[in-house]
């Protein structure tokens, strides 16, 4: 006899249509699964995450990113139900999930492993920040909006000195987000690689660079503004100064996402671009 799958529901219920969509979904799955909790945004209880088989997240990619750090630590696959605009992580409409639900919670081949980044900011006498990014790590000039200078090394070897409005360091998953808007390349979501894309560089010869994800990237600020800031997934912030050293490397864990068998990453991209 097959055990009843256990799920946790995440959703920012302040957003329009999210609560209504969750109520519709819970009526549909009644008797099919056990709902352990209905969590608000990324706020959930660790011991429940250890017991759950799937997390069903309602909203957009931002909502998934809010929950992703907790979910990835517990190896919980995400089924992302899009409420609003088409997303790269929120891959399903509610109707598609209803149509495919039995397959989604039984077919392990649909679970994709997505690379994450570990980012650490070392201050003069302490670690200022250590966290995980699923999409990207962005260093932005901030007020007074003068260009900033960043020296980059890969595995201890000099890579480039960048004078710009900032840089974007993204995963393959994040390559279709801010990186794409800034002129960076689109990577297949399954690659093990890191994209470094300058934001409005002073030197036009500085183009986006793709490096092996097994190599550690170090960034040394050479010139900053009062509010030059490092931002992870648009959600975690820390200001930077000249004494800081930023290390970015492939995270040992991964983010698990249930893929939509009705479309590929490239179908989603085509929908966005068109």
Query: What is the structure's pLDDT at 13?
Result: 74
- pTM, two decimals, is 0.92
Residues of the chain with CATH 2.60.200.30: 116-252
Q: How far apart are CA 269 and CA 22, in angstroms?
A: 26
DSSP strand pairing (148-154 vs 217-223): antiparallel
DSSP strand pairing (127-133 vs 136-140): unpaired
Query: What is the structure's pLDDT at 257?
Result: 95
Residues of the chain with CATH 3.40.50.10330: 6-106
Query: What is the structure's pLDDT at 274?
Result: 65
Query: What is the structure's pLDDT at 23?
Result: 92
Q: How far apart are CA 16 and CA 19, in angstroms?
A: 8
Query: What is the structure's pLDDT at 145?
Result: 93
| pLDDT (tens place) for every residue of the chain, 274 residues total | 568 999 999 987 777 789 899 999 999 999 999 999 888 655 566 778 889 999 999 988 888 898 888 888 899 999 999 986 666 788 899 999 999 999 999 999 999 999 999 999 999 888 999 999 999 999 999 999 999 999 999 999 999 999 999 999 999 999 999 999 999 999 999 999 999 999 999 988 889 999 999 999 999 999 999 999 999 999 999 999 999 999 999 999 999 999 999 887 777 777 666 6
Query: What is the structure's pLDDT at 73?
Result: 87
Query: What is the structure's pLDDT at 211?
Result: 98
Q: How far apart are CA 81 and CA 84, in angstroms?
A: 10
In 19-77 the beta strands, taken as DSSP E runs, fall at 34-40, 54-59
Which CATH number is 116-252's, of 3.30.530.20, 3.40.50.300, 3.90.1150.10, 2.60.200.30? 2.60.200.30
61 is catalytic: yes
User: Of the residues 43, 46, 61, 233, which is catalytic?
Assistant: 61
Q: What is the CATH number of domain 6-106?
A: 3.40.50.10330
Closest alpha carbon to 137 in 266, 246, 4, 8? 246
């Amino acid at each position: 006899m097959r055990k009843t799958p256990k799920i946790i529901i995440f959703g920012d219920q302040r957003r329009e249509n999210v609560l209504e969509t969750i109520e519709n979904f819970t009526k549909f799955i009644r008797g099919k699964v056990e709902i352990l909790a209905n969590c608000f945004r990324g706020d959930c209880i660790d011991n429940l995450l250890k017991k759950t088989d799937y997390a069903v997240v309602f909203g957009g990619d931002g909502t998934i990113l809010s929950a992703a750090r907790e979910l990835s630590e517990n190896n919980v696959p995400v089924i992302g139900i899009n409420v609003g605009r088409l997303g790269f992580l929120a891959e399903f409409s509610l109707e598609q999930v209803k149509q495919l639900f039995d397959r989604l919670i039984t077919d392990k081949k649909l679970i994709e492993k997505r690379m994450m980044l570990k980012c650490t900011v070392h201050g003069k006498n302490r670690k200022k920040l250590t966290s995980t990014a699923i999409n990207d790590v962005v260093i932005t000039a901030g007020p007074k909006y003068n260009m900033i200078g960043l020296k980059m090394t890969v595995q201890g070897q000099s890579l480039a000195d960048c004078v710009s409005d900032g840089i974007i360091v993204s995963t393959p998953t994040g390559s279709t987000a801010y990186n794409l808007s800034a002129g960076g390349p689109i990577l297949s979501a399954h690659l093990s690689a890191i994209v470094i894309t300058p934001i409005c560089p002073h030197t036009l010869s500085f183009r986006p660079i793709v490096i092996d994800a097994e190599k550690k990237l170090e960034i040394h600020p050479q010139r900053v503004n009062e509010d030059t800031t490092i931002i992870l997934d648009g959600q975690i912030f820390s200001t930077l100064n000249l004494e800081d050293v930023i290390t970015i490397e492939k995270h040992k864990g991964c983010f698990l996402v249930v893929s939509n068998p009705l479309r590929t990453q490239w179908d989603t991209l085509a929908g966005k671009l068109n």
